[in-house]
Structure 1
Amino acid sequence: MIILDKLLTRFEDYVAVICFSLMSIITLVAVFFRFALNSPIIWSEEVARYLMVWGIFIGISIMTRKNAQLGIDIFIAFAPEKVKKVVTFICHIMLIGTYIIAFYLSVDFVLYSLELGQLTPILRIKFAYVYMAMPLGFLLSTYRAIQVFWAQYFKKNIKGPVSKNSSIDKKEVYF
């Protein structure tokens, strides 16, 4: 299981870095061509947008792995320790449930998109290929949320870094 986790971690990290790097490079080159050479690259905006979509949905999984979700914790910051544990437990369960529902709905959306055969305006590729980032991102996020939940509530020995602010005590979560 540790090997699978390490492979998924590398996959998430590399895909996110590649997507955001290519998006930045394509955008910079497109700006240069548009304003310096007065010859816009017509496909650049579309490619940059789709790379951003893929990077964000994979990034959700990375954020979940690092237990770094956005939240307003001022309400529980001053609460007693028992209340904090209960609220955190409920939040973890809700997060896992949300990811499962989002995964299910995004799979339906991708299948519907495949049925329609809708193509992107400039590249003429199926929108379903762009939309596949959603189920993949939510599937990985579900796995990571369960992993963090398991580590936080049922496992004592955890290896590696998760997040500076994580209640998992700065350790990576492996099954």
Structure 2
Amino acid sequence: MMKKLNALEEYFLIGTLFFNVVLVFVQVIMRYVFHNSLYWSEELARFVFLWFSWIGTSFAVREGAHLKVTMVGDWLGGRGKRVLEFISLVIWIGFSLFLVYQGGKITAFVASMGQTSPALYIPVSFVYASVPVGSTLMAARLVFELWKFLTGKDSPSVPVKES
């Protein structure tokens, strides 16, 4: 299951990034070479980038790319560090679920208003839906990381990239 999620996320992220680069490139060419801009391209690029960003949060959990302060854990060492990692994961899962809940509420509210975007006439609720969808994926990955942490399959649970 996780392999399918990994592949789906990677294809989605690569596809949306490529699409946005092409879209912005075409818009720049149209504006400066042909003196005729695509009025809808900026709005679409923004919406695609929002989806890219929120789905990217889940991918970043998998890659261990989220920021993590390790000073206290390093100072505690051993068992204290494991306890701190556990608490950190539980809080992070809680926050992700909070984002799912609040994002879902806001998305439902915007959907009930029937608001559409000015240039593309896309329901704005589709754009807002990126928050609960991305947060759900992130929460699922974090629960998987917590399971690995508790069963000892992976330690530390979320790899830390040194900078």
Match of residue 162 from structure 1: none
Secondary structure of 1:72's counterpart equals coil
Per the TM alignment, residue 28 of structure 1 is displaced from its structure 2 partner at its CA by 1.1
2:146, 2:157 within 8 Å by CA — same for their partners in 1? no
**2:149 aligned with 1:149, yes or no?**
no
In structure 2, do the counterparts of structure 1 residues 75 and 169 end up closer, same or farther at CA, with 3 Å as the change threshold?
A: closer
In structure 2, do the counterparts of structure 1 residues 103 and 169 end up closer, same or farther at CA, with 3 Å as the change threshold?
A: closer
**2:156 aligned with 1:167, yes or no?**
yes
Measure the CA separation in 2 of the matches of 1:53 and 1:83.
37
Measure the CA separation in 2 of the matches of 1:28 and 1:86.
48
Written as runs of structure 1 = structure 2, the 5 A alignment for 1:32-111 is: 32-111=29-108
Q: Which amino acid aligns with 1:47?
A: L
Residues matched between the structures, number: 159
TM-score normalised to structure 2 length:
0.90
Match of residue 112 from structure 1: 109
**2:24 aligned with 1:27, yes or no?**
yes
Match of residue 126 from structure 1: 123
Identity level (%): 26
TM-score normalised to structure 1 length:
0.84
Which runs of 5 or more residues in structure 2 are unaligned?
none
Measure the CA separation in 2 of the matches of 1:55 and 1:169.
21
Q: Deviations over 1:68-88 (max 9, x none)?
A: 321222333333222211111
Deviates most, 95-104 or 32-41: 32-41
Which runs of 5 or more residues in structure 1 are unaligned?
159-165, 171-175
Superposed CA RMSD = 1.8
In structure 2, do the counterparts of structure 1 residues 168 and 102 end up closer, same or farther at CA, with 3 Å as the change threshold?
A: closer
Match of residue 10 from structure 2: 13
Which of the pair is proportionally richer in helix? 2
Q: Deviations over 1:91-133 (max 9, x none)?
A: 0000000011110111111111110011101001100111111
Per the TM alignment, residue 20 of structure 1 is displaced from its structure 2 partner at its CA by 1.2
Q: Which amino acid aligns with 2:149?
A: Q
Measure the CA separation in 2 of the matches of 1:95 and 1:40.
43
